[in-house]
Amino acid sequence: MTTENSSRTSTVPETDSEEYSSVNPATDMIDCKLSRRDFVKTVGYFTGAGALGLQLISVETIVECAPLEFSASAHTVELTVNGLVHKLTMDTRVTLLDALREYLKLTGTKKGCDHGQCGACTVLVNGRRINSCLSLAVTHQGDQITTIEGLSGGEELHPLQTAFIEHDGFQCGYCTPGQICSAVALLEEARRGDASFVTPDLAHTGRVELTPEEIRERMSGNVCRCGAYPGIVQAVQTASRTL
């Protein structure tokens, strides 16, 4: 195992270590006081989720192979997330997704593919759904960002959260925060009459009737590997009738 660990350390690609240093600047990594959660996240950066459990790298090893490099590329931004303003100084490379998860510890928003293909990282920016993994945090000064943590009113769930529970709109739950944020925006888009590729008549500009076909097309940016799609479609349709 020791041999494996050291070989792993030496073969970590440069890009990976840079990615790592860009997401965890001046907090846990500096003094090596990693919580177990941070440790698991850190290992995840190097191995990918699929290899978790096989790679028991020591904390010392990780610090050694993750040089912090800051200088010209740091930038300060005020992020307004769920109504609270956070002033952060970050490497310019930090995505909004990583800022939410690693700086603000809002881990409800999930990292799936990290390439804008799966939708797990979907959040609302000024009410519009976007992929936070493809958006640099420094570009969001002054924006109103809403994450899954900001949807409920205290103990009162958002109607879409209730609908997902009611219709079993998930199995493992990993894609669910992205699905729900996406669906929240979907309902607003349909209410104001935005068309989709399956909308039969583009000239009709009123509120869109959310048929299962419309919902499937409009939710196509959110992948669910458990295949909970029937429940997701039902949940969105139910919520569309109550909201």
Partner 1 sequence: MNPFEYQQVDEPATAVDAISRWRGSKFLAGGTNLIDLMKNTVEQPPKLIDINHIPLRGIEQTPDGGVKLGALARNSDTANHPLIRKNYPLLSQAILSGASPQLRNMATNGGNLLQRTRCPYFMDPAFSRCNKRTPGSGCSALEGFHENHAILGASDQCIATHPSDMCVALAALEAKVRVRGPKGERIIAIGDFHRLPGTTPQIDTTLMPDELIVSIDLPPSPYGSHSHYLKIRERTSYAFALVSVAAAIDVDSGWIRGARLALGGVAHKPWRVEAAEAALAGQKLSISLFEQAASRALSGARPRRDNTYKVEMAKRAIIRALTIAGGLA
Which residues have C-beta within 8 Å of that of residue 35, sequence separation ≥ 6?
A: 28
Check residue 69 for interaction with partner 1 (CB under 8 A).
Answer: yes
Minimum CB distance to partner 1, residue 159 (Å): 20
Check residue 15 for interaction with partner 1 (CB under 8 A).
Answer: yes
Check residue 29 for interaction with partner 1 (CB under 8 A).
Answer: no
- Bridge partners of 156, per DSSP, are 153
Task: From 34-42, 52-60, 100-108, 136-144, give the range in contact with partner 1 by CB under 8 A.
Answer: 136-144
Which of 33, 37, 105, 128 is the binder for partner 1 (CB under 8 A)?
128
Q: With respect to partner 1, which residue has the nearer C-beta, 107 or 196?
A: 196
Q: With respect to partner 1, which residue has the nearer C-beta, 34 or 145?
A: 145
Q: How many residues bind partner 1 (CB under 8 A)?
A: 45
Q: With respect to partner 1, which residue has the nearer C-beta, 3 or 71?
A: 71
Check residue 185 for interaction with partner 1 (CB under 8 A).
Answer: yes
CA distance 182 to 173: 15
Check residue 44 for interaction with partner 1 (CB under 8 A).
Answer: no
Minimum CB distance to partner 1, residue 239 (Å): 16
Is 78:87 a contact under the CB 8 Å cutoff?
yes
Which of 29, 104, 106, 130 is the binder for partner 1 (CB under 8 A)?
130
Which of 47, 61, 149, 221 is the binder for partner 1 (CB under 8 A)?
221
Which residues have C-beta within 8 Å of that of residue 198, sequence separation ≥ 6?
A: 213, 214, 217
Cα dist. 12→41, 197, 219 in Å? 16, 43, 36
Check residue 88 for interaction with partner 1 (CB under 8 A).
Answer: no
Which residues have C-beta within 8 Å of that of residue 170, sequence separation ≥ 6?
A: 164, 176, 179, 224, 226, 228, 231, 232
List contacts with partner 1 (CB under 8 A).
15, 18-19, 22, 69, 72-73, 75, 91-93, 95, 114-116, 119, 122, 128-131, 134-136, 138-139, 182, 185-186, 189, 193-197, 199, 202-203, 205, 216-218, 220-222
